[in-house]
């Protein structure tokens, strides 16, 4: 099935939702540990232990950690797994000692950005590096569906296709924000 829409996939921003708080004493140095393992591309099976002080912490399927990586539940990984096209790299995280999550930091990279139509701001001191993309346009014929991917131009987060949006919506995965990347 051809890709019609491309979506920006991230976690919701909601004042009542649980967050991964790296400033509480139990989690100090955990963010650095996760980033270190990402930099070393260490996907060993030993999880990083995190504490989330929220009654519904384990009911959420997606947590945000900025553009660097996204943390998804074991349930979300099993549902969305095929859309990663066998490429997802992750660091396992154990929340509150029992709920397995994955810090996804590397997904399929697709060179599908339409530079002529996208609104791209380059760094003033380096006209070969992208600082920000405010309007995305994609060469959709290059994107299989379903697919979760990132762009080679930089850390602009994860994108998904129509099939991914439909899966997230119909599976009722909590904590995901899926916005049309070309109109957002």
User: Which of helix, strand or coil describes residue 54?
Assistant: coil
Q: Which residue has the higher pLDDT, 33 or 7?
A: 7
What lies within 8 Å, CB to CB, of 71 at 6+ separation is 11, 20, 62, 63, 64, 65, 93, 101, 102, 103, 104
Among candidate residues 137, 144, 146, the one with its CA nearest the CA of residue 169: 146
pLDDT at 131: 84
Q: In the structure encoding, which two tokens stand for residue 146, read together? A: 């379903």
Q: Are 38 and 103 in contact (CB under 8 A)?
A: yes
Element (H, E) at 38: helix 30-39
Give the model confidence (pLDDT) of 56-72 as tens digits: 899 999 997 765 678 99
SS3 state of residue 167 = helix
- Neighbouring C-beta atoms of residue 91, cutoff 10 Å: 25
The pLDDT value recorded for residue 85 is 82
pLDDT digits (tens, 9 = 90+) for 34-57: 888 888 877 667 899 999 988 989
How many Cβ atoms from other residues are within 10 Å of residue 85's Cβ? 15
Rg, C-alpha atoms of the chain:
17
Quote the mean pLDDT of the chain.
88
Question: Which tens digits make up the pLDDT trace of 111-153?
Answer: 999 989 988 888 889 888 888 888 899 999 999 999 999 998 8
pTM above 0.75, yes or no: yes
Whether the pLDDT of residue 184 is over 90: the answer is: no
């Amino acid at each position: 099935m051809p890709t019609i829409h491309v979506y920006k996939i991230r976690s919701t921003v909601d004042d009542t939702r649980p967050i991964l708080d790296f400033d509480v004493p139990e989690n100090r140095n955990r963010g650095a540990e996760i980033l270190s393992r990402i930099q070393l591309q260490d996907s060993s099976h030993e999880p990083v232990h995190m504490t989330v002080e929220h009654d519904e912490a384990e009911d959420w399927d997606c947590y945000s950690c900025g553009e660097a990586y996204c943390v998804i539940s074991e349930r979300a990984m099993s549902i969305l797994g095929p859309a990663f096209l066998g490429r997802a790299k992750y660091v396992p995280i154990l929340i509150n000692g029992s709920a397995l999550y994955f810090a996804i930091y590397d997904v399929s990279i697709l060179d599908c950005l339409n530079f002529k139509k996208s609104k791209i701001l380059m760094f003033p001191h380096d006209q070969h590096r992208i600082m920000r993309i405010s309007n995305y346009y994609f060469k959709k014929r290059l994107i299989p569906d379903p697919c979760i991917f990132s762009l080679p131009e930089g850390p602009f987060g994860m994108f998904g296709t129509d099939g991914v949006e439909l899966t997230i919506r119909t599976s009722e995965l909590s904590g995901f924000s899926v916005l049309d990347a070309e109109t957002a």
